[in-house]
């Protein structure tokens, strides 16, 4: 089985866009390929300062991929590109 890709969503409670983004990810056809981590920016002052005007912000393996909105098709396409890049990197290293 392939290693799951870490997807991190920075959000906060009572955020309609955050709920929508999380629902899109969870209901996407590629959801089984990921490990989803949700971080509440209100629990960390530095995260709040960094993301307060951009939530939700979605990172794929530490790389910023989306903010505000996404579709399931966009999300799965980005995952495919990320997986391809990881494969190329591993082949390049030998």
Q: What is the mean pLDDT of residues 55-61?
A: 96
Phi, psi of 90 (to 5 degrees): -70, -35
At 1, the pLDDT band (50, 70, 90 cuts) reads very low
Q: Which CATH number does 5-89 carry?
A: 3.40.30.10
Summary mean pLDDT of the chain: 93
Q: For the chain, report the end-to-end CA distance as a whole number of angstroms.
A: 21
Please state the domain extents for the chain.
5-89
DSSP label of 27: T
Task: Give me the numbers of helices (H) and strands (E) for the chain, helices first please.
Answer: 3, 4
- For residues 39 and 56, the answer to whether their CB atoms sit within 8 Å is no
CB atoms under 10 Å from CB of 33, counted, come to 16
What is the structure's pLDDT at 94?
60
- Summarize pLDDT for 43-54 with one digit per residue, the tens: 999 999 999 999
CB atoms under 10 Å from CB of 14, counted, come to 7
Is residue 42 scored above 50 in pLDDT?
Answer: yes
């Amino acid at each position: 089985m392939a290693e799951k890709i870490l997807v991190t969503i920075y959000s906060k409670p009572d955020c309609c866009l955050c709920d929508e983004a999380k629902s899109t990810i969870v209901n996407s056809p590629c959801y089984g390929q990921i490990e989803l981590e949700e971080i509440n920016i209100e629990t960390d002052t530095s995260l709040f300062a960094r993301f307060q005007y951009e939530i939700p912000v979605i990172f794929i393996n530490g790389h910023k991929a989306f903010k505000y909105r996404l579709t399931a098709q966009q999300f799965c396409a980005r995952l495919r590109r990320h997986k391809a890049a990881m494969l190329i990197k591993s082949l390049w290293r030998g």
